[in-house]
Chains A and B, each alone.
Chain A
Amino acid sequence: MDVEIIFRIAGIGILISVLSIVLKQANKEEQAEMLTLAGVVVVLIIVVQLMSQLFTVVRSVFNL
Chain B
Amino acid sequence: MLLKTLGITLIIAGCGSWGLLGARRIDKRVAQIKDLRMALGFLEKEITYIHTPLSRALERTARFCGTPVSCLFTESSKGLEAREGITAGEAWMKGLQALKNNAELKAADLDILSTAALQLGMSDVGEQKKFFSLIQEELQIQEEKALQEVESGRKLWAYGGFIVGAMIVLLLL
Give A contacts to B, CB under 8 Å.
Answer: 8, 11-12, 15-16, 18-19, 22-23, 25-28, 42
Q: Provide the residues of chain A in CB contact with B153, threshold 8 Å.
A: 26
Q: A55 vs B171: C-alpha distance in the bound complex, in angstroms?
A: 24
Residue in contact with A15 in the complex, picked from B155, B163, B173, CB distance below 8 Å: B163
Q: Using Cβ atoms and an 8 Å threshold, which residues of chain A touch B152?
A: 25-27
Interchain Cβ contacts within 8 Å, total number? 36
CA distance A18 to B153 in the complex (A): 15
Residues of B whose CB lies within 8 Å of any CB of A are 152-153, 155-156, 159-160, 163-164, 166-167, 170-171, 173
Alpha-carbon distance A38/B167, docked complex (angstroms): 12
> Which chain A residues lie closer than 8 Å to B173 at the CB level?
8
Could you say which residues of chain B place their CB within 8 Å of the CB of A25? 152, 155-156
